[in-house]
């Protein structure tokens, strides 16, 4: 039996650090096993009575979490595949537990946080980015014929506002650490050497975390935002769905909005377009 890919350590300040470090891998990828390990770690923390906060970090230099297990998605025989649904439901369940921990949470990002990796960070109350040159935050799913499937289309608009979130979702382009801080994707920036301390300080110094979390579970106050730009009718299906799901979900509670996201994701995963783009992605990696 291999070692678990998530380790929990309790600091003297009673902040727990969950370190994601997939054994034998250069990067962390959200597989069914990693989700299971993360769930076990979160369940363990939920039972700690004197916990002050939780920091989610990575043991891989230059990588937080690189994304989802694309092989599982690329092998889907068609839309609405039961195995894909189970995979999405698993991730949503784990992030739901992370989101419901009775203490503030912070993602300490010192490398690549793309796709599902950023969705893990978005499920935390706070985010701090380190100074590693490989820091990148992005939701590139539309470039693979998909949309985010673990709440990203809904948590992002509630964090940075609907128009900038729609632009982020429909372009699929990542941003570096300084840009992430400027665009309010991250709450703080810190030198890599002091990243965990900065993350712990965020959770310890913000007594309003519960109010902030509760606000993100409601609908987005659309009257406070200008209209988000609609993609053209000629845009790829994933781009149009990313826009539609973000707009439709913003009017609902987070729980209802995520169900809208899941239904759309399952129609795209296993589609001919997504399978082609994922195959091209793997082929391009082999050439490097």
Total domains, the chain:
1
Question: What pLDDT is attached to residue 2?
Answer: 63
Residue 1 forms part of a structural domain: no
Q: Which of 56, 176, 203 is nearest to 111 (CA)?
A: 176
Above 60 in pLDDT, residue 160?
yes
The predicted pLDDT at position 228 comes to: 74
Q: Give the number of other Cβ atoms within 10 Å of residue 177's Cβ.
A: 25
Q: Helix axis angle, 209-216 relative to 152-160, nearest 10°?
A: 120
165 assigned to some structural domain: yes
Residue 171 phi/psi, 5° resolution?
-85, -35
Tell me what pLDDT residue 10 has. Answer: 96
What is the average per-residue pLDDT within 251-264? 97
List Cα–Cα distances, 278 to 144, 274, 285, in angstroms: 6, 6, 11
d(CA 100, CA 95): 9
Distance CA 228, CA 235 (A): 16
Beta-strand runs (E) in the chain: 6-10, 15-20, 29-30, 53-58, 62-65, 67-68, 105-109, 111-114, 126-129, 136-138, 175-176, 188-189
- φ, ψ for residue 189, nearest 5 deg: -125, 145
Poorest-confidence range of 97-101, 102-106, 160-164?
160-164
Q: Which two tokens stand for residue 155?
A: 């948590």
* Residue bearing tokens 């419901």: 100
For residue 54, tell me if it sits in a domain. yes
48-57, 71-80, 98-107, 215-224: least confidently modelled range: 215-224
Residues 6+ away with beta carbon under 8 Å from 222? 162, 250, 251
What's the CA gap between 72 and 5, in Å, rounded?
Answer: 19
Domain presence at residue 160: yes
Average pLDDT for 111-134? 97
**Does residue 82 sit within a domain?**
yes
Q: What mean pLDDT is reported for the chain?
A: 94
Residue 72 inside a domain? The answer is yes
Q: Over the stretch 229-255, which tens digit does the pLDDT of each residue have?
A: 789 999 999 999 999 999 999 999 999
List the catalytic residues: 68, 116, 119, 141
**Residues 68 and 249 sit within 8 Å (Cβ to Cβ):** no
User: What tens digit of pLDDT does each residue of 165-195 get?
Assistant: 999 999 999 999 999 999 999 999 999 999 9
Task: Report pLDDT for 226.
Answer: 56
Across residues 8-35, what is the average pLDDT?
A: 96
The model carries a pTM of: 0.96
pLDDT value, residue 286: 77
pLDDT band of residue 284 (cuts 50, 70, 90) is confident
Whole-Å CA distances, 147 to 120, 139, 153, 230, 236: 15, 8, 8, 16, 11
Q: What's the CATH number where 138 sits?
A: 3.90.226.10
- Is 135 a residue whose pLDDT tops 80? yes
Q: Which domain holds residue 238?
A: 6-287
């Amino acid at each position: 039996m291999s070692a678990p890919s998530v380790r929990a350590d309790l600091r003297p300040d009673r902040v727990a650090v969950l370190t994601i470090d997939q054994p034998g891998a250069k990067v962390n990828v959200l597989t069914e096993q990693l989700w299971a390990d993360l769930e076990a770690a979160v369940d363990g923390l939920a039972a700690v009575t004197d916990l002050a906060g939780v920091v989610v970090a990575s043991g891989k230099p230059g990588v937080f979490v690189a994304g989802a297990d694309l092989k599982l998605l690329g092998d889907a025989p068609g839309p609405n595949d039961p195995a894909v649904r189970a995979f999405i439901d698993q991730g949503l369940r784990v992030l739901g537990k992370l989101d419901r921990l009775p203490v503030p949470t912070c993602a300490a990002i010192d490398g690549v946080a793309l796709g599902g990796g950023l969705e893990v960070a978005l499920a935390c109350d706070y985010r701090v980015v380190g100074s590693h040159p490989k820091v990148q935050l992005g939701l590139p799913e539309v470039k693979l014929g998909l949309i985010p499937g673990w709440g990203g289309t809904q948590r992002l608009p509630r964090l940075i506002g609907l128009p900038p979130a729609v632009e982020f979702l429909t372009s699929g382009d990542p941003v570096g650490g300084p840009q992430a801080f400027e665009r309010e994707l991250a709450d703080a920036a810190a030198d890599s050497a002091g990243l965990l301390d900065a993350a712990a300080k965020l959770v310890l110094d913000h007594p309003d975390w519960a109010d902030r979390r509760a606000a993100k579970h409601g609908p987005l106050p659309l009257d406070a935002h200008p209209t988000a730009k609609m993609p053209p009718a000629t845009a790829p299906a994933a781009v149009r769905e990313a826009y539609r799901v973000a707009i439709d979900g913003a009017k609902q509670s987070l729980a209802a909005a995520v169900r809208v996201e899941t239904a759309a994701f399952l129609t795209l995963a296993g589609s001919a377009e997504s399978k082609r783009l994922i195959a091209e992605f793997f082929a391009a990696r082999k050439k490097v």
